[in-house]
Amino acid sequence: MAFFDSHSHLQDPRFDEDRAAVLSRAAAAGVHTILVCGEDVESSRAAIALAANAKQPRLLAAAGFHPHEAAHATDAALDEIELLARSGGAAAIGEIGLDFYRDLSPRHVQRQVFDAQLAIAVRLGLPVSVHSRDAEGEVRPHLARFAAESPLARRGRAPGVLHAFGGTLREAQEYAAMGFLVSLTCAAGYPRNEEARAIAAELPLAALLVETDSPALPPQSARGTRNEPANVRVVAELIAEARGITVEAVSAATTANAEALLGRATLVEASA
């Protein structure tokens, strides 16, 4: 089995002391590819640097401003994100989106920065990795416009993924109908997270990805500790249990989905 961790933050300082060991454990667990997502200019630059120097597992990078950091996303900083994505061979623009749970940046600023980064993804022909917390309804019109403009969608490819999805099954189905993928985390095993288990059971397998969101969202058995990419197998096991299928089937499908979204994506011409 081979697993694709479709969202992590391996550049986080919490990995500084043992990052090589974390990657070795991931490889031993069958993780062959990990997407490392940025949260601002500095972390996006670090993600691209990690990906450029990776051997095993393969690391891919995404560049973007997290909604928590949107208040710091000046025009110059957004230009830097676009330059990093273009020159650094980013596989996606991310992590971007809206967060109305913590509201660490003003909501109108979050919306402006989200739209600015969706426009970058259109110009570069890249998919997006989208953060949505207590904002699933608010995110939808932004992504509907993006899907209509994305050169990936015009080619019949998924234009992005709703990462660590925390909405309802119905919302997940609506995003899948728009062409987006939906990614689940180890949080699908948390006792109160029945909606995530419903998504694991009912959403078409062709619309699902797995991720760890490392260092956040560890498995239920390790709550309160640092998460790491080796635990992506736990997510696949949760989906397999919910669907009554093998982990091998989940691994094969979610890896193929992630490769189609991210693994073969470099820059494409938006005008093509």
Residue 88 token pair: 């650094």
DSSP secondary structure code for residue 214 in this structure: B
**pTM for the full model?**
0.95
Contact between residue 8 and residue 35 where contact means Cβ atoms under 8 Å apart: yes
3-class secondary structure, 10? coil
Per-residue confidence of the chain (272 residues) as pLDDT tens digits? 899 999 999 999 999 999 999 999 999 999 999 999 999 999 999 999 999 988 889 999 999 999 999 999 999 999 999 999 999 889 999 999 999 999 999 999 999 999 999 999 999 999 999 999 999 999 999 999 999 999 999 999 999 999 999 999 999 999 999 999 999 999 999 999 999 999 999 999 999 999 999 999 999 999 999 999 999 999 999 999 999 999 999 999 999 999 999 975 443 333 33
Quote the CA–CA distance of 19 and 15 in Å, as a whole number. 5
- Its CATH architecture, for the domain 3-263, is Alpha-Beta Barrel (3.20)
Domain boundaries, the chain: 3-263
